[in-house]
Structure 1
């Protein structure tokens, strides 16, 4: 078996499960159909929950946390399905393994990019804390330091993240290789490939949203066309259309970021900055306190939301990493067993001679 390095992924359709999975009429047991239908039905319900009741919730950090949590659950489900299929790694086609390892590397790179962006935003929060400290006394002499911190925050937030820029290229490659290797003479293999197509489609969808939100650009936001023969296709199309349309609408209005809490802090900064400009305070002490209070509340909501999203991104990274490690371990074990069998056969052959 070749060493796993490069990767692409699967595609399939679903109407009549016998016809779509086994077009030549090969038999799919009731157990396999139940496993597949349960997986796809669960995915459909999970996607439906991702559609916000209010469009204003789109790209709020609480929604982004939910989206990443949903992605983690979907990847956990495919692990469970593989276990329930009882399809040993030694029975996996080499193409499947190559695809899996290549895709897993890409997903780890995407996770690292998102983590670096979230870290950058959290570092920016230090500037906001400094502003609050400077303005705590409402003394005009502190205004200069507060303005300097606000300038530092803007520079931090607007700085380019090269890792994030690479996400779009990675996602494009994942999209181009959405179809999985074809499966022959393996009902379990066809069920696995079909389920993995769903996992990959949802992964590309959610990661595309995160990349667009963090970069402030909807130009490379991905719209996937999924065959309506999948049980989850309608829910997928519904949430993708709703969310992508809202992101494009937000970013076309000229705002710097589509992330709701980050946009709220930016709006609060724009109100606060003129008040402390040149040491002037035309709104009076009460006006300043009210503005600072609102600013502090928005900054705190941003920080808490970022921490929650970062936790889910790290969780997704660990799921991908442990899955990759588990497969590598199985490959090593099977390789040793295979070599052991070869040695045994050679010894037996020599004994016969």
Structure 2
């Protein structure tokens, strides 16, 4: 029998020890990514519950108003900012093109929603003209006739879904939703998987909020695009429930947006007063006009806040894109610089060898 001495100190040249160290580092990195994912999901879950429990959607008989839409945009902005913080600390590499392609769609989506808001503002001018004539107490038949036509134009404008000529906005939203279903081919690292999971989460929230905003502003009969979060996300259940509740329009509501139904009701009252010419006491009542004026004022304030929310998201995504592109540019310059140094070193060694010879 031979006795073999075994050192109690690890060898720096032990391949098994090196493999173990690498595996431990890999496990620690995976744990950190899991913690990041869980923290990101929990932050979205908290915000999502607040949005779902808001007064606009807590009861099935209540629809959506501009205030709720602004809150939804705030939630979307929060999701983008949280994702940016996470992604900025990682090496995107293979996922950089994936993010840049999707972010272009989001920027285009923001521009299209801004156009819808501007279209809505222009429609509001129709009400403002009619209110100006009625508040001045004008008895000019021509002005009153134009005011009546303006009110009718508002109602007729929203009798069906208001769509642009080429359905550009719907195509963007649907294309982004389709991209979210795409599964990357081939083997990817844990970092890449985390990055794409984060991008997918933000994409789901983006498509949902954008779809609701567009549907509400256009008076469309149904959501422009619908999405559903997979169970891998901690916030999937409340998110899908919120999507379902928004898709179901309350009874006796023509539009998804409360303000549209309210304005139409006030217009009918004002039109009835104009057609009747006087109230019960023989005088033209001003209450219907005042109520329409109040609703129109709230509409203007809501649209301003909505526009600000879209601008915040647009600027957030644009800053992230610029930062990533700059990072990529610097990386490429460093690679070229390293390549030049390497080539220069080779040239120097070659010259030195020739001199020594």
For the superposition of Structure 1 and Structure 2, which TM-score range results when normalised by the shorter chain?
0.7 to 0.9
Does the CA contact (< 8 Å) of 2:277 and 2:284 recur in 1? no
Structure 2: distance between partners of 1:148 and 1:337: 66
Within 5 Å, which residues of 2 pair with 1:178-189?
A: 178=180, 179-181=182-184, 184=187, 186-189=189-192
Partner of 2:37: 36
Structure 1: distance between partners of 2:343 and 2:110: 47
Partner of 2:168: 166
Partner of 1:105: 104
Structure 1: distance between partners of 2:248 and 2:128: 34
Structure 1: distance between partners of 2:74 and 2:166: 20
Q: Tell me whether 303-312 or 225-234 shows the greater mean CA deviation.
A: 225-234
Q: How many residues align?
A: 316
Gap change, CA 1:274 and 1:210, over 3 Å in 2: same
Partner of 1:201: 204
Of structures 1 and 2, the one scoring higher in RCO (CA 8 A, sep 6+) is 1
Partner of 2:262: 264
1:317 aligns with 2:314: yes
For the pair shown, which has the larger CA radius of gyration, 1 or 2?
2
Structure 1: distance between partners of 2:108 and 2:166: 10
1:146 aligns with 2:156: no
Structure 1: distance between partners of 2:61 and 2:282: 33
Structure 2: distance between partners of 1:285 and 1:34: 72
Does the CA contact (< 8 Å) of 1:221 and 1:244 recur in 2? no
1:308 aligns with 2:323: no
Does the CA contact (< 8 Å) of 1:110 and 1:167 recur in 2? yes
2:177 paired residue among 161, 167, 175: 175
* Contiguous gaps of at least 5 residues in structure 1: 1-25
Q: 1:114 deviation in Å?
A: 1.0
* Contiguous gaps of at least 5 residues in structure 2: 1-25, 351-357
Q: 1:71 deviation in Å?
A: 0.3
1:326 aligns with 2:326: no
1:289 aligns with 2:291: no
Partner of 1:71: 76
Structure 1: distance between partners of 2:186 and 2:43: 24
RMSD of Structure 2 on Structure 1 (CA): 2.6
Q: 1:105 deviation in Å?
A: 1.6
Kindly provide the CA deviation profile for residues 85-121 of structure 1, in whole angstroms up to 9, marking residues without a partner as x: x3234xx11xx22221221121112111111111111
Does the CA contact (< 8 Å) of 1:48 and 1:239 recur in 2? no
Does the CA contact (< 8 Å) of 1:121 and 1:156 recur in 2? no
Structure 1: distance between partners of 2:317 and 2:278: 53
Partner of 2:59: 54
Structure 2: distance between partners of 1:176 and 1:33: 26
TM-score (norm 2): 0.80
Gap change, CA 1:130 and 1:216, over 3 Å in 2: closer
Structure 1: distance between partners of 2:51 and 2:69: 9
Q: 1:214 deviation in Å?
A: 2.5
